[in-house]
Chain A
Amino acid sequence: MSAFPALQEVPSQPVVELPPPRRRVPDAVWSALSIGSIFLVWWAVTTSGLVGPDYLPTPQALFGEFVGLVENGYRGIPLWQHIFASLFRTLTGFVLGVIVGVPTGLMTGYSRVGSAMVSPLMAFIRPIPPIAFIPMAVLYFGLGEVGKIALIFFTAFNYAHVNSHAGAVNVPIAYYRAAESIGLTRVQTFFRVVLPAAIPTIFTGLKVAMALSWAVVVAAELVGAQRGLGFMISDAAQLFRIPVVFIGIALIGVIGLLLNLLLSLIEARLVHWKGR
Protein backbone atom coordinates (compact mmCIF):
# COMPACT_ATOMS: atom_id res chain seq x y z
CA MET A 1 0.00 0.00 0.00
CA SER A 2 1.47 3.35 -0.95
CA ALA A 3 1.76 5.88 1.81
CA PHE A 4 -0.78 8.63 1.62
CA PRO A 5 0.34 12.16 2.42
CA ALA A 6 -0.58 13.13 5.92
CA LEU A 7 -4.04 14.55 6.09
CA GLN A 8 -4.00 18.18 6.91
CA GLU A 9 -6.00 19.20 9.87
CA VAL A 10 -8.40 21.98 9.05
CA PRO A 11 -8.40 24.37 11.98
CA SER A 12 -11.85 24.48 13.50
CA GLN A 13 -13.70 27.59 12.59
CA PRO A 14 -15.70 29.48 15.15
CA VAL A 15 -19.35 28.51 14.94
CA VAL A 16 -21.34 31.32 13.42
CA GLU A 17 -24.68 32.00 15.02
CA LEU A 18 -27.29 31.65 12.32
CA PRO A 19 -30.67 33.25 12.75
CA PRO A 20 -33.40 30.65 13.41
CA PRO A 21 -34.94 29.29 10.19
CA ARG A 22 -38.12 31.03 9.11
CA ARG A 23 -41.09 28.75 9.51
CA ARG A 24 -43.32 28.68 6.53
CA VAL A 25 -46.95 29.40 7.19
CA PRO A 26 -48.91 26.29 6.13
CA ASP A 27 -51.23 26.73 3.15
CA ALA A 28 -54.23 25.68 5.23
CA VAL A 29 -53.81 28.78 7.36
CA TRP A 30 -54.13 31.05 4.36
CA SER A 31 -57.21 29.18 3.11
CA ALA A 32 -58.82 29.35 6.53
CA LEU A 33 -58.04 33.06 6.78
CA SER A 34 -59.52 33.73 3.37
CA ILE A 35 -62.74 31.81 4.04
CA GLY A 36 -62.94 33.23 7.51
CA SER A 37 -62.71 36.81 6.28
CA ILE A 38 -65.46 36.21 3.74
CA PHE A 39 -67.71 34.98 6.52
CA LEU A 40 -66.74 37.93 8.63
CA VAL A 41 -67.55 40.45 5.92
CA TRP A 42 -70.81 38.65 5.20
CA TRP A 43 -71.83 38.69 8.83
CA ALA A 44 -70.85 42.32 9.28
CA VAL A 45 -72.56 43.54 6.16
CA THR A 46 -75.85 41.72 6.79
CA THR A 47 -76.13 42.08 10.55
CA SER A 48 -75.45 45.82 10.39
CA GLY A 49 -78.24 46.22 7.86
CA LEU A 50 -75.97 47.51 5.11
CA VAL A 51 -77.43 44.87 2.81
CA GLY A 52 -81.08 44.01 3.33
CA PRO A 53 -82.23 40.49 4.25
CA ASP A 54 -84.16 40.25 0.99
CA TYR A 55 -80.87 40.35 -0.91
CA LEU A 56 -78.54 38.57 1.44
CA PRO A 57 -79.63 36.81 4.64
CA THR A 58 -77.42 36.85 7.69
CA PRO A 59 -75.33 33.74 8.36
CA GLN A 60 -77.40 33.06 11.43
CA ALA A 61 -80.67 33.23 9.55
CA LEU A 62 -79.31 30.91 6.92
CA PHE A 63 -78.19 28.38 9.46
CA GLY A 64 -81.52 28.52 11.25
CA GLU A 65 -83.36 28.00 7.97
CA PHE A 66 -81.11 25.08 7.14
CA VAL A 67 -81.92 23.40 10.44
CA GLY A 68 -85.58 24.00 9.71
CA LEU A 69 -85.29 22.39 6.31
CA VAL A 70 -83.55 19.36 7.74
CA GLU A 71 -86.26 18.94 10.37
CA ASN A 72 -89.35 19.80 8.37
CA GLY A 73 -88.34 19.36 4.77
CA TYR A 74 -89.53 21.61 1.99
CA ARG A 75 -93.16 21.57 0.87
CA GLY A 76 -93.75 18.47 2.91
CA ILE A 77 -90.92 16.55 1.34
CA PRO A 78 -87.84 15.84 3.47
CA LEU A 79 -84.67 17.60 2.37
CA TRP A 80 -82.81 14.38 1.74
CA GLN A 81 -85.48 13.33 -0.74
CA HIS A 82 -84.97 16.50 -2.73
CA ILE A 83 -81.25 15.86 -2.74
CA PHE A 84 -81.77 12.23 -3.64
CA ALA A 85 -84.10 13.10 -6.52
CA SER A 86 -81.55 15.37 -8.13
CA LEU A 87 -78.73 12.91 -7.53
CA PHE A 88 -80.70 9.99 -8.91
CA ARG A 89 -81.47 11.79 -12.14
CA THR A 90 -77.91 12.95 -12.51
CA LEU A 91 -76.17 9.67 -11.74
CA THR A 92 -78.52 7.56 -13.84
CA GLY A 93 -78.13 9.80 -16.86
CA PHE A 94 -74.40 10.11 -16.26
CA VAL A 95 -73.72 6.40 -15.97
CA LEU A 96 -75.78 5.63 -19.07
CA GLY A 97 -74.12 8.44 -21.00
CA VAL A 98 -70.66 7.24 -20.02
CA ILE A 99 -71.40 3.58 -20.77
CA VAL A 100 -72.41 4.55 -24.30
CA GLY A 101 -70.07 7.50 -24.80
CA VAL A 102 -66.70 6.09 -23.76
CA PRO A 103 -66.63 2.97 -25.97
CA THR A 104 -68.02 4.82 -28.98
CA GLY A 105 -65.50 7.63 -28.46
CA LEU A 106 -62.62 5.20 -28.19
CA MET A 107 -63.71 3.37 -31.29
CA THR A 108 -64.08 6.45 -33.41
CA GLY A 109 -60.73 7.72 -32.14
CA TYR A 110 -59.04 4.46 -33.04
CA SER A 111 -60.64 3.72 -36.38
CA ARG A 112 -60.30 6.13 -39.25
CA VAL A 113 -63.47 4.92 -40.91
CA GLY A 114 -65.36 5.14 -37.62
CA SER A 115 -64.10 8.65 -37.12
CA ALA A 116 -65.08 9.73 -40.61
CA MET A 117 -68.58 8.40 -40.07
CA VAL A 118 -69.26 9.81 -36.62
CA SER A 119 -67.16 12.93 -36.16
CA PRO A 120 -69.13 15.29 -38.42
CA LEU A 121 -72.29 14.40 -36.55
CA MET A 122 -70.64 14.97 -33.17
CA ALA A 123 -69.11 18.25 -34.35
CA PHE A 124 -72.61 19.45 -35.15
CA ILE A 125 -74.19 18.31 -31.90
CA ARG A 126 -71.41 19.35 -29.56
CA PRO A 127 -71.78 23.14 -29.62
CA ILE A 128 -75.48 22.98 -28.79
CA PRO A 129 -75.95 23.65 -25.08
CA PRO A 130 -77.93 20.82 -23.46
CA ILE A 131 -80.24 23.40 -21.92
CA ALA A 132 -81.53 24.21 -25.38
CA PHE A 133 -82.98 20.74 -25.52
CA ILE A 134 -85.11 21.13 -22.41
CA PRO A 135 -88.30 22.16 -24.26
CA MET A 136 -87.79 19.25 -26.62
CA ALA A 137 -87.30 16.85 -23.75
CA VAL A 138 -90.54 18.05 -22.20
CA LEU A 139 -92.30 17.70 -25.52
CA TYR A 140 -91.18 14.12 -26.09
CA PHE A 141 -91.02 12.80 -22.58
CA GLY A 142 -93.30 15.03 -20.58
CA LEU A 143 -92.42 16.35 -17.16
CA GLY A 144 -91.47 13.00 -15.65
CA GLU A 145 -88.15 11.46 -14.76
CA VAL A 146 -87.43 10.03 -18.22
CA GLY A 147 -87.14 13.43 -19.85
CA LYS A 148 -84.62 14.68 -17.30
CA ILE A 149 -82.59 11.50 -17.40
CA ALA A 150 -82.59 11.64 -21.19
CA LEU A 151 -81.23 15.17 -21.03
CA ILE A 152 -78.46 14.17 -18.61
CA PHE A 153 -77.68 11.17 -20.77
CA PHE A 154 -77.29 13.41 -23.76
CA THR A 155 -74.99 15.79 -21.88
CA ALA A 156 -72.81 13.09 -20.37
CA PHE A 157 -72.65 11.15 -23.62
CA ASN A 158 -71.45 14.23 -25.50
CA TYR A 159 -68.50 14.93 -23.25
CA ALA A 160 -67.61 11.33 -22.54
CA HIS A 161 -67.53 10.65 -26.27
CA VAL A 162 -65.47 13.68 -27.22
CA ASN A 163 -62.84 13.12 -24.56
CA SER A 164 -62.61 9.39 -25.16
CA HIS A 165 -62.17 10.13 -28.84
CA ALA A 166 -59.38 12.59 -28.05
CA GLY A 167 -57.82 10.09 -25.68
CA ALA A 168 -57.68 7.45 -28.39
CA VAL A 169 -56.39 9.86 -31.01
CA ASN A 170 -53.62 11.16 -28.77
CA VAL A 171 -52.02 7.82 -28.09
CA PRO A 172 -48.35 8.38 -28.95
CA ILE A 173 -47.25 6.70 -32.14
CA ALA A 174 -44.38 5.15 -30.20
CA TYR A 175 -46.93 3.02 -28.33
CA TYR A 176 -48.47 1.81 -31.58
CA ARG A 177 -45.07 0.90 -32.96
CA ALA A 178 -44.09 -0.86 -29.76
CA ALA A 179 -47.36 -2.79 -29.84
CA GLU A 180 -46.83 -3.75 -33.48
CA SER A 181 -43.28 -4.85 -32.96
CA ILE A 182 -44.12 -7.08 -30.01
CA GLY A 183 -46.79 -8.76 -32.08
CA LEU A 184 -50.15 -7.43 -30.87
CA THR A 185 -53.18 -7.68 -33.15
CA ARG A 186 -55.28 -4.60 -33.84
CA VAL A 187 -57.94 -5.74 -31.37
CA GLN A 188 -55.36 -6.44 -28.69
CA THR A 189 -53.78 -3.06 -29.30
CA PHE A 190 -57.16 -1.42 -28.82
CA PHE A 191 -57.91 -3.06 -25.46
CA ARG A 192 -54.42 -3.29 -24.04
CA VAL A 193 -52.80 -0.11 -25.29
CA VAL A 194 -55.32 2.43 -26.56
CA LEU A 195 -57.77 2.02 -23.70
CA PRO A 196 -55.26 2.30 -20.83
CA ALA A 197 -53.42 5.12 -22.59
CA ALA A 198 -56.67 7.03 -23.03
CA ILE A 199 -57.86 6.71 -19.45
CA PRO A 200 -56.39 10.01 -18.19
CA THR A 201 -58.17 11.92 -20.96
CA ILE A 202 -61.31 9.88 -20.40
CA PHE A 203 -61.31 10.89 -16.76
CA THR A 204 -60.98 14.53 -17.65
CA GLY A 205 -64.05 14.02 -19.80
CA LEU A 206 -65.86 12.27 -16.96
CA LYS A 207 -65.24 15.13 -14.57
CA VAL A 208 -66.48 17.68 -17.07
CA ALA A 209 -69.46 15.47 -17.91
CA MET A 210 -70.29 15.12 -14.23
CA ALA A 211 -70.11 18.84 -13.56
CA LEU A 212 -72.26 19.62 -16.57
CA SER A 213 -74.75 16.86 -15.82
CA TRP A 214 -75.19 18.29 -12.37
CA ALA A 215 -75.73 21.74 -13.82
CA VAL A 216 -78.20 20.50 -16.42
CA VAL A 217 -80.29 18.59 -13.89
CA VAL A 218 -80.77 21.76 -11.92
CA ALA A 219 -81.79 23.62 -15.07
CA ALA A 220 -84.19 20.86 -16.04
CA GLU A 221 -85.76 20.92 -12.60
CA LEU A 222 -86.22 24.66 -12.79
CA VAL A 223 -88.55 24.11 -15.71
CA GLY A 224 -90.69 21.24 -14.55
CA ALA A 225 -90.35 19.08 -11.46
CA GLN A 226 -92.04 18.36 -8.18
CA ARG A 227 -88.94 17.62 -6.19
CA GLY A 228 -85.26 18.11 -6.35
CA LEU A 229 -82.79 20.89 -5.54
CA GLY A 230 -83.51 22.81 -8.74
CA PHE A 231 -87.21 22.64 -8.00
CA MET A 232 -86.57 23.79 -4.43
CA ILE A 233 -84.63 26.83 -5.60
CA SER A 234 -87.13 27.99 -8.19
CA ASP A 235 -90.12 27.29 -5.99
CA ALA A 236 -88.59 29.10 -3.00
CA ALA A 237 -87.65 32.04 -5.19
CA GLN A 238 -91.24 32.41 -6.33
CA LEU A 239 -92.37 32.38 -2.72
CA PHE A 240 -89.62 34.82 -1.70
CA ARG A 241 -88.13 32.32 0.74
CA ILE A 242 -84.71 33.71 0.02
CA PRO A 243 -82.74 31.78 2.66
CA VAL A 244 -83.98 28.54 1.11
CA VAL A 245 -82.73 29.71 -2.28
CA PHE A 246 -79.27 30.33 -0.85
CA ILE A 247 -79.21 27.01 0.95
CA GLY A 248 -80.25 25.23 -2.20
CA ILE A 249 -77.47 26.88 -4.14
CA ALA A 250 -74.95 26.07 -1.43
CA LEU A 251 -76.04 22.43 -1.41
CA ILE A 252 -75.69 22.26 -5.17
CA GLY A 253 -72.17 23.62 -4.85
CA VAL A 254 -71.18 21.22 -2.07
CA ILE A 255 -72.60 18.14 -3.76
CA GLY A 256 -71.00 19.11 -7.06
CA LEU A 257 -67.70 19.41 -5.24
CA LEU A 258 -68.09 16.02 -3.58
CA LEU A 259 -68.92 14.33 -6.89
CA ASN A 260 -65.82 15.82 -8.45
CA LEU A 261 -63.76 14.70 -5.47
CA LEU A 262 -65.10 11.18 -5.80
CA LEU A 263 -64.07 11.02 -9.44
CA SER A 264 -60.65 12.41 -8.57
CA LEU A 265 -60.13 9.72 -5.96
CA ILE A 266 -61.06 6.97 -8.41
CA GLU A 267 -58.77 8.54 -10.97
CA ALA A 268 -55.88 8.67 -8.54
CA ARG A 269 -56.21 4.94 -7.86
CA LEU A 270 -56.63 3.97 -11.48
CA VAL A 271 -54.12 6.30 -13.04
CA HIS A 272 -51.32 6.38 -10.53
CA TRP A 273 -48.88 6.51 -13.41
CA LYS A 274 -50.24 9.68 -14.98
CA GLY A 275 -48.02 12.65 -15.48
CA ARG A 276 -44.87 10.80 -14.57
Chain B
Amino acid sequence: MHVAESPSTTKIAFRGVAKSYPAKRSTQRATVALERLDVDIRTAEIVSVLGPTGCGKSSALNLIAGFETPTTGAVFLDDKRVEGPGPDRAVVFQQAALFPWLTVYENVTLGVKCRGVPASDYEPRAHRLLEEVGLETFERHFPYQLSGGMQQRVQIARALISSPKVLLMDEPFGALDYQTRIFMQELLLRLWVEYRPTVFFITHDVAEAIFISDRVLVMSRRPGRVKLSVDVHALKPRNADFLGTPEFIALQKQLLQAVQEEVSANGSVP
Protein backbone atom coordinates (compact mmCIF):
# COMPACT_ATOMS: atom_id res chain seq x y z
CA MET B 1 0.00 0.00 0.00
CA HIS B 2 1.45 3.35 -0.96
CA VAL B 3 0.29 6.52 0.65
CA ALA B 4 -0.70 9.31 -1.73
CA GLU B 5 1.31 12.52 -1.71
CA SER B 6 -0.03 15.10 0.70
CA PRO B 7 -1.27 18.42 -0.69
CA SER B 8 1.56 20.94 -0.86
CA THR B 9 0.27 23.65 1.44
CA THR B 10 2.69 25.25 3.84
CA LYS B 11 1.86 24.38 7.41
CA ILE B 12 4.72 25.88 9.32
CA ALA B 13 6.85 28.73 8.08
CA PHE B 14 9.93 30.36 9.58
CA ARG B 15 10.37 33.87 8.16
CA GLY B 16 13.65 35.55 8.93
CA VAL B 17 13.71 33.99 12.37
CA ALA B 18 16.59 34.74 14.69
CA LYS B 19 16.79 33.84 18.35
CA SER B 20 19.32 35.01 20.87
CA TYR B 21 19.46 34.76 24.62
CA PRO B 22 20.70 37.79 26.56
CA ALA B 23 23.91 37.53 28.57
CA LYS B 24 23.37 36.82 32.25
CA ARG B 25 26.48 38.65 33.35
CA SER B 26 28.31 41.64 31.92
CA THR B 27 31.34 39.47 31.18
CA GLN B 28 29.31 37.25 28.85
CA ARG B 29 28.07 37.89 25.38
CA ALA B 30 24.54 37.20 24.22
CA THR B 31 24.08 33.65 22.93
CA VAL B 32 22.87 33.60 19.36
CA ALA B 33 21.03 30.29 19.12
CA LEU B 34 19.57 30.83 15.65
CA GLU B 35 21.14 33.15 13.14
CA ARG B 36 18.50 33.08 10.47
CA LEU B 37 15.85 30.53 9.58
CA ASP B 38 13.71 30.62 6.49
CA VAL B 39 12.09 27.22 6.35
CA ASP B 40 8.77 25.99 4.99
CA ILE B 41 7.24 22.78 6.21
CA ARG B 42 4.37 21.28 4.26
CA THR B 43 1.18 19.89 5.71
CA ALA B 44 1.59 16.29 6.89
CA GLU B 45 5.28 16.41 6.08
CA ILE B 46 7.69 14.71 8.46
CA VAL B 47 10.81 16.81 8.85
CA SER B 48 13.79 15.73 10.93
CA VAL B 49 16.44 18.08 12.18
CA LEU B 50 20.02 16.98 12.73
CA GLY B 51 22.87 19.01 14.04
CA PRO B 52 25.54 19.31 16.70
CA THR B 53 24.65 20.06 20.31
CA GLY B 54 23.75 23.68 20.88
CA CYS B 55 22.96 24.42 17.25
CA GLY B 56 19.51 25.73 18.05
CA LYS B 57 17.36 22.72 17.16
CA SER B 58 15.48 22.84 20.43
CA SER B 59 15.13 26.61 20.16
CA ALA B 60 13.51 26.17 16.76
CA LEU B 61 11.11 23.62 18.23
CA ASN B 62 10.31 25.90 21.16
CA LEU B 63 9.50 28.69 18.73
CA ILE B 64 7.00 26.56 16.85
CA ALA B 65 5.58 25.36 20.14
CA GLY B 66 5.21 28.90 21.38
CA PHE B 67 7.28 28.40 24.53
CA GLU B 68 9.61 31.12 23.32
CA THR B 69 9.31 34.03 20.93
CA PRO B 70 11.77 34.92 18.17
CA THR B 71 14.15 37.83 18.65
CA THR B 72 13.52 38.82 15.03
CA GLY B 73 11.20 37.43 12.41
CA ALA B 74 8.22 35.22 13.10
CA VAL B 75 6.98 31.67 12.95
CA PHE B 76 3.70 31.13 11.12
CA LEU B 77 1.23 28.31 11.48
CA ASP B 78 -1.27 28.24 8.60
CA ASP B 79 -0.25 31.84 7.79
CA LYS B 80 -1.08 32.94 11.33
CA ARG B 81 1.65 34.09 13.64
CA VAL B 82 2.48 31.77 16.53
CA GLU B 83 1.74 33.63 19.76
CA GLY B 84 1.86 30.96 22.42
CA PRO B 85 1.51 27.25 23.17
CA GLY B 86 -1.61 25.28 22.41
CA PRO B 87 -2.94 21.78 21.87
CA ASP B 88 -2.83 22.22 18.10
CA ARG B 89 0.93 21.84 18.39
CA ALA B 90 1.44 18.84 20.64
CA VAL B 91 4.87 18.36 22.15
CA VAL B 92 6.67 15.15 23.03
CA PHE B 93 9.61 15.92 25.31
CA GLN B 94 12.82 13.97 25.68
CA GLN B 95 12.20 13.43 29.38
CA ALA B 96 8.62 12.25 29.64
CA ALA B 97 6.89 15.18 31.31
CA LEU B 98 4.07 13.05 32.61
CA PHE B 99 2.39 14.04 35.84
CA PRO B 100 3.40 11.44 38.42
CA TRP B 101 0.25 11.80 40.51
CA LEU B 102 -2.01 10.81 37.61
CA THR B 103 -2.52 7.40 36.10
CA VAL B 104 -1.61 6.70 32.49
CA TYR B 105 -5.20 7.17 31.39
CA GLU B 106 -5.57 10.40 33.39
CA ASN B 107 -2.35 11.77 31.95
CA VAL B 108 -3.55 11.13 28.42
CA THR B 109 -6.96 12.68 28.98
CA LEU B 110 -6.12 15.63 31.23
CA GLY B 111 -5.77 18.16 28.43
CA VAL B 112 -8.96 17.30 26.59
CA LYS B 113 -10.89 17.01 29.83
CA CYS B 114 -9.82 20.47 30.97
CA ARG B 115 -10.76 21.99 27.66
CA GLY B 116 -14.34 20.87 28.08
CA VAL B 117 -14.40 18.05 25.57
CA PRO B 118 -17.14 15.64 26.71
CA ALA B 119 -16.02 12.29 28.08
CA SER B 120 -18.15 10.44 25.54
CA ASP B 121 -15.94 12.07 22.93
CA TYR B 122 -12.47 11.52 24.32
CA GLU B 123 -12.93 8.32 26.25
CA PRO B 124 -13.08 5.91 23.30
CA ARG B 125 -10.26 7.82 21.59
CA ALA B 126 -8.07 7.51 24.67
CA HIS B 127 -8.66 3.77 24.94
CA ARG B 128 -7.95 3.31 21.26
CA LEU B 129 -4.76 5.35 21.33
CA LEU B 130 -3.47 3.48 24.35
CA GLU B 131 -4.27 0.25 22.55
CA GLU B 132 -2.42 1.41 19.47
CA VAL B 133 0.69 2.20 21.49
CA GLY B 134 0.37 -1.13 23.26
CA LEU B 135 -0.46 0.11 26.75
CA GLU B 136 -4.10 -0.89 27.10
CA THR B 137 -3.34 -3.06 30.12
CA PHE B 138 -1.49 -0.20 31.85
CA GLU B 139 -4.21 2.41 31.91
CA ARG B 140 -4.44 2.48 35.67
CA HIS B 141 -0.72 2.38 36.28
CA PHE B 142 1.32 5.34 37.41
CA PRO B 143 4.24 6.72 35.41
CA TYR B 144 6.78 5.57 37.95
CA GLN B 145 5.67 2.00 37.36
CA LEU B 146 6.55 2.19 33.67
CA SER B 147 9.82 1.92 31.80
CA GLY B 148 11.21 4.87 29.83
CA GLY B 149 9.91 3.53 26.55
CA MET B 150 6.46 3.03 27.98
CA GLN B 151 6.42 6.55 29.37
CA GLN B 152 7.29 7.90 25.95
CA ARG B 153 4.42 5.92 24.48
CA VAL B 154 2.09 7.53 27.00
CA GLN B 155 3.43 10.93 25.93
CA ILE B 156 2.69 10.12 22.31
CA ALA B 157 -0.83 9.04 23.19
CA ARG B 158 -1.29 12.25 25.18
CA ALA B 159 -0.01 14.27 22.23
CA LEU B 160 -2.28 12.63 19.70
CA ILE B 161 -5.52 12.55 21.61
CA SER B 162 -6.51 16.04 20.49
CA SER B 163 -5.71 15.12 16.86
CA PRO B 164 -3.15 17.90 16.64
CA LYS B 165 -2.21 19.36 13.30
CA VAL B 166 1.41 19.55 14.36
CA LEU B 167 3.53 17.11 16.35
CA LEU B 168 6.76 18.46 17.82
CA MET B 169 9.23 15.91 19.10
CA ASP B 170 12.47 16.86 20.82
CA GLU B 171 14.78 13.82 20.74
CA PRO B 172 11.91 11.69 22.02
CA PHE B 173 13.68 8.37 21.66
CA GLY B 174 17.14 9.51 22.70
CA ALA B 175 17.03 7.96 26.14
CA LEU B 176 15.75 4.59 24.92
CA ASP B 177 17.65 1.46 24.08
CA TYR B 178 18.19 0.42 20.46
CA GLN B 179 15.40 -2.15 20.24
CA THR B 180 12.84 0.14 21.80
CA ARG B 181 13.89 2.98 19.54
CA ILE B 182 13.19 0.91 16.42
CA PHE B 183 9.80 -0.07 17.81
CA MET B 184 8.99 3.57 18.52
CA GLN B 185 10.05 4.72 15.05
CA GLU B 186 7.76 2.17 13.43
CA LEU B 187 5.00 3.11 15.85
CA LEU B 188 5.37 6.76 14.92
CA LEU B 189 5.10 5.98 11.21
CA ARG B 190 2.00 3.82 11.80
CA LEU B 191 0.36 6.61 13.77
CA TRP B 192 1.33 9.16 11.16
CA VAL B 193 -0.40 7.12 8.45
CA GLU B 194 -3.56 7.31 10.51
CA TYR B 195 -3.49 10.82 11.99
CA ARG B 196 -1.38 12.64 9.36
CA PRO B 197 0.11 15.37 11.58
CA THR B 198 2.91 17.62 10.40
CA VAL B 199 5.93 16.39 12.31
CA PHE B 200 8.98 18.33 13.41
CA PHE B 201 11.42 15.81 14.81
CA ILE B 202 14.74 16.54 16.46
CA THR B 203 17.27 13.75 16.71
CA HIS B 204 20.95 12.93 16.86
CA ASP B 205 20.47 9.62 15.10
CA VAL B 206 21.07 9.97 11.37
CA ALA B 207 19.54 6.60 10.55
CA GLU B 208 16.45 7.44 12.56
CA ALA B 209 16.09 10.76 10.75
CA ILE B 210 16.28 9.15 7.33
CA PHE B 211 13.99 6.28 8.25
CA ILE B 212 11.02 8.30 9.38
CA SER B 213 11.28 11.55 7.39
CA ASP B 214 10.20 13.07 4.11
CA ARG B 215 12.92 15.65 4.51
CA VAL B 216 16.00 15.98 6.67
CA LEU B 217 17.51 19.31 7.66
CA VAL B 218 21.05 19.62 8.90
CA MET B 219 21.79 22.65 10.99
CA SER B 220 25.16 24.28 11.36
CA ARG B 221 26.79 24.75 14.73
CA ARG B 222 25.89 27.82 16.72
CA PRO B 223 24.74 30.33 15.51
CA GLY B 224 22.36 27.93 13.78
CA ARG B 225 21.18 28.08 10.21
CA VAL B 226 20.03 25.39 7.86
CA LYS B 227 23.10 24.06 6.16
CA LEU B 228 21.58 21.22 4.18
CA SER B 229 18.12 20.00 3.25
CA VAL B 230 17.63 16.62 1.59
CA ASP B 231 14.45 14.90 0.50
CA VAL B 232 13.87 11.26 1.26
CA HIS B 233 12.01 9.84 -1.71
CA ALA B 234 11.25 6.33 -0.52
CA LEU B 235 7.51 5.91 -0.34
CA LYS B 236 5.75 5.28 2.92
CA PRO B 237 4.96 3.05 4.69
CA ARG B 238 8.53 1.99 5.19
CA ASN B 239 9.97 -0.99 6.97
CA ALA B 240 13.33 -2.50 7.76
CA ASP B 241 13.89 -3.30 4.06
CA PHE B 242 14.43 0.39 3.44
CA LEU B 243 17.56 0.33 5.56
CA GLY B 244 19.59 -1.62 3.03
CA THR B 245 18.55 0.31 -0.08
CA PRO B 246 21.03 2.43 -2.05
CA GLU B 247 19.07 5.59 -1.33
CA PHE B 248 19.28 5.01 2.39
CA ILE B 249 22.99 4.25 2.35
CA ALA B 250 23.76 7.26 0.16
CA LEU B 251 21.70 9.60 2.32
CA GLN B 252 23.28 8.24 5.46
CA LYS B 253 26.74 8.92 4.12
CA GLN B 254 25.87 12.40 2.95
CA LEU B 255 24.12 13.42 6.14
CA LEU B 256 26.70 11.91 8.45
CA GLN B 257 29.41 13.81 6.64
CA ALA B 258 27.47 17.07 6.87
CA VAL B 259 26.92 16.62 10.58
CA GLN B 260 30.52 15.60 11.23
CA GLU B 261 31.74 18.74 9.50
CA GLU B 262 29.75 20.89 11.86
CA VAL B 263 30.72 18.91 14.93
CA SER B 264 34.45 18.94 14.28
CA ALA B 265 34.59 22.58 13.14
CA ASN B 266 37.01 24.79 15.07
CA GLY B 267 36.28 25.26 18.69
CA SER B 268 33.09 23.27 18.66
CA VAL B 269 32.55 20.66 21.36
CA PRO B 270 30.55 17.64 20.17
Using CB atoms and an 8 Å cutoff, list the residues of chain A in contact with chain B: 172, 174-175, 177-178, 180-185, 188, 192-193, 196-197, 199, 271-273, 276
Contact = CB atoms under 8 A, between A and B. Distances in A.
28 contacts: A172-B97, A177-B85, A177-B91, A180-B67, A180-B86, A181-B86, A181-B87, A181-B91, A182-B87, A182-B110, A182-B114, A183-B86, A183-B87, A183-B114, A183-B115, A184-B110, A192-B110, A192-B114, A196-B101, A197-B99, A197-B101, A199-B101, A271-B101, A272-B142, A273-B143, A273-B144, A276-B100, A276-B144
Given A175-B99, A181-B87, 6 more contacts: A174-B95, A175-B97, A178-B97, A183-B112, A196-B101, A197-B101
A181 B85 contact: yes
Interface in B41-64: none
A274 to B, nearest CB: 8
B115 to A, nearest CB: 5
Given A192-B110, A273-B142, A276-B144, A180 B100 contact: no
B111 A177 contact: no
Interface in B70-125: 84-87, 89-91, 93, 95, 97-101, 110-112, 114-115
Contacts of B66: 180
A188 B99 CA distance: 14
Q: Which 8 A-B pairs have the closest CB atoms?
A: A182-B111, A276-B144, A183-B87, A180-B85, A178-B97, A174-B97, A273-B100, A181-B91
A267 to B, nearest CB: 13
B162 interface: yes
B68 to A, nearest CB: 10
Q: Most chain-B CB neighbours within 10 Å: which of A174, A178, A196, A197?
A: A178
A163 to B, nearest CB: 18
B65 interface: yes
B153 interface: no
A184 B85 CA distance: 10
Contacts, number: 66
A182 B111 CA distance: 5
A139 B101 CA distance: 47
Contacts of B142: 272-273, 276
Given A174-B93, A175-B99, A182 B67 contact: no
B222 interface: no
Given A178-B93, A181-B65, A181-B90, A273 B101 contact: yes
A276 B162 CA distance: 29
B158 interface: yes
A185 B67 CA distance: 15
Contacts of B67: 177, 180
